[in-house]
């Protein structure tokens, strides 16, 4: 067995995801819906394992962080107070020939112009200069017939109320563009009901929605996605110490989940939001995307969010410390994209190996995150005694692990199927198993096989997965 040259492409990962039931295009039988995806059986299991690992490290193992599951719909004033209604938008430019649309700031970046924080007027000035020089062209078709940039709102609108009401600004609500808004709105209830003392955090996992101009790169950037966010409320004097602490904790989480140090790095933001004092991103080096890109952000947000919601709601959101001092807490945020993390682990796990002149595709997920932990096979599906014994083994193991019973095709094909799913161990029941009460256990990564007594399987797998 030898590793092949690493030429992992996004196309290979997309193909495997559909072929093996990780991710499907949504509404495919109707032609699909751009940048919206459904997660199949193995994708759901993998996503849940990543989520549970995050939740364990952020909530279960900590005394200073509590959980929340806030509603997707919130009072419309929420997004006015947060600045999303007035300022959550991107500059859009259209090609009149091929009808494609692009983010104008991303297009300018291809010409070496950083317009990330530029105003609409500044962006159009840059575009006009490129037009005058004859350089501005459509990235898709090469046409020079491009529109001026205009503002494109990223907010997704809906409405609540009587189904006979017209869709008007009076009854419009928004699907939340990020999950932290719900945390800010439940800060007061959390303090009042749980009596938390500063510093403390509120964590949640949930759906968010953004009407992206150009959603791309498979599940890396989509219009419906899941965030794992934690807002940590503290006194201003604590920020430096706690910011360092959370940077170290979040970095270690990636190492603990099998991502090597050389595959992640820090990126410090030089241009900050007006309320922020510091912002770092954790970047992962994607093989399939051709470089490093953002997975998680850690931000020092000040007290702007709670101050805005206190101002617009008229409800006091002060905290009173043990000395009787009243103040609005400052916020430290950790914000990760669950869908991006799933793509990260797919990208990291994907490997091609040469085995006796044939290519073996194998997903080398960290064992704790693998969708299926153990697959159980009868050597032959048409031998009732083998099937019965294999079912007995399967029924025993599935009490402690997510397992799969597989009797479809020959053993070689079953191994290859489980390799592509990323199953760490396969257990085969054969005729010797009936006489000696043992089975063959095959390791995904080494493909080595050992005979283990059925009565010893519990301790065998306990050692393997704890390691």
pLDDT digits (tens, 9 = 90+) for 128-164: 998 889 889 898 888 889 999 888 877 888 877 655 5
Could you give the 3-state DSSP secondary structure of residue 215? Answer: coil
The segments of the chain whose pLDDT lies below 50 read none
pLDDT of residue 166: 58
Q: Using alpha carbons, list the distances in angstroms from residue 212 to 28, 68, 137, 435.
A: 20, 27, 22, 62
Q: Give CA–CA dist 297/266, Å, rounded.
A: 10
pLDDT of residue 255: 98
pLDDT digits (tens, 9 = 90+) for 14-38: 999 999 999 999 999 999 888 899 9
89-153 has which CATH code?
2.20.28
Q: Give CA–CA dist 284/15, Å, rounded.
A: 22
Question: Could you tell me which residues come within 8 angstroms of residue 105 by beta carbon, excluding any fewer than 6 positions away?
Answer: 90, 91, 115, 116, 118, 123
pLDDT of residue 33: 87
Whether residue 199 is preceded by a cis peptide bond, meaning omega within 30 degrees of 0, is yes
**Pairing assessment for the beta strands 374-378 and 403-405 based on DSSP bridges:** parallel
For residue 162, what are its two tokens? Answer: 């009587």
Q: Which residue(s) pair with 233 in the sheet?
A: 200, 331
Q: Give CA–CA dist 191/110, Å, rounded.
A: 48
Closest CA to 272 of 116, 122, 119: 116
Closest CA to 350 of 257, 424, 422, 426: 422
Q: Give CA–CA dist 430/451, Å, rounded.
A: 11
Report the predicted TM-score, pTM, of the whole model to 2 decimal places.
0.90
pLDDT digits (tens, 9 = 90+) for 377-401: 999 999 999 999 999 999 999 999 9
Q: Where are the domains of the chain?
A: 2-76+174-348, 89-153, 372-466
Cβ-contact 368, 374 below 8 angstroms: no
Please identify, in words, the CATH class of the domain defined by 2-76+174-348: alpha beta
Longest dimension (CA), the chain: 84
| Helix/strand/coil (H/E/C) assignment for every residue in 350-380 | EEEEEECCEEEEEECCCCCCCCCCEEEEECC
pLDDT of residue 436: 95
pLDDT of residue 203: 98
Q: Give CA–CA dist 348/352, Å, rounded.
A: 12
Q: Which CATH superfamily is domain 372-466 in?
A: Anticodon-binding domain (3.40.50.800)
């Amino acid at each position: 067995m030898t590793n092949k040259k690493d030429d992992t492409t996004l196309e290979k990962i997309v193909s495997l995801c559909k072929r093996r039931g990780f991710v499907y295009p949504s509404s495919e039988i109707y032609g699909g819906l751009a940048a919206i995806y459904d997660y199949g059986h193995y994708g759901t299991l993998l996503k849940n394992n990543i989520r549970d690992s995050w939740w364990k490290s952020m909530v279960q193992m900590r005394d200073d962080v509590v959980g929340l599951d806030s509603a997707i719909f919130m009072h419309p004033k929420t997004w006015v107070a947060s600045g999303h209604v007035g300022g959550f938008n991107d500059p859009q430019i259209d090609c009149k020939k091929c009808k494609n649309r692009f983010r104008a700031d991303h297009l300018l970046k291809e010409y070496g112009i950083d317009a990330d924080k530029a105003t609409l007027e500044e962006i159009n000035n840059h575009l006009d200069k490129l037009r005058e020089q004859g350089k501005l062209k459509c990235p898709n078709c090469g046409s020079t017939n491009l529109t001026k940039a205009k503002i494109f709102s990223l907010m997704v609108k809906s409405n609540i109320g009587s189904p006979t009401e017209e869709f008007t600004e009076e009854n419009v609500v928004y699907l939340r563009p990020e999950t932290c808004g719900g945390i800010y709105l439940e800060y007061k209830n959390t303090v009042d009901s749980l009596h938390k003392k500063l510093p403390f955090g509120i964590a949640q996992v949930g759906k968010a929605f953004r009407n992206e101009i150009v959603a791309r790169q498979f599940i890396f950037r989509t219009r419906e996605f899941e965030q794992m966010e934690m807002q940590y409320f503290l006194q201003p004097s604590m920020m430096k110490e706690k910011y360092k602490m959370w940077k170290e904790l979040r970095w270690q989480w990636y190492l603990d989940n099998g991502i090597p140090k050389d595959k992640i790095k820090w990126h410090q933001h030089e241009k900050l939001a007006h309320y922020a004092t510091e912002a770092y991103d954790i970047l992962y080096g994607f093989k399939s995307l051709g470089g490093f890109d953002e997975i998680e952000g850690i931000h020092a947000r000040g007290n702007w969010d709670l101050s805005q919601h206190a101002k617009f709601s008229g409800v006091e959101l002060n905290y009173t410390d043990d000395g009787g001092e009243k103040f609005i807490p400052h916020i430290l945020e950790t914000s990760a994209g669950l869908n991006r993390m799933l793509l990260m682990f797919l990208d990291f796990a994907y490997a091609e190996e040469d085995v006796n002149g044939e290519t073996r595709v194998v997903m080398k997920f960290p064992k704790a995150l693998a969708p299926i932990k153990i697959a159980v096979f009868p050597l032959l599906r048409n031998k009732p005694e083998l099937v019965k014994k294999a079912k007995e083994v399967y029924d025993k193991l599935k009490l402690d692990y997510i397992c799969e019973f597989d009797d479809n095709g020959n053993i070689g094909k079953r191994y290859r199927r489980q390799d592509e799913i990323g199953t760490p161990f396969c257990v085969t029941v054969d005729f010797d198993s009936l006489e000696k009460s043992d089975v063959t256990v095959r390791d995904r990564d080494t493909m080595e096989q050992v005979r283990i007594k059925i009565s010893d399987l519990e301790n065998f797998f306990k050692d393997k997965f704890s390691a």
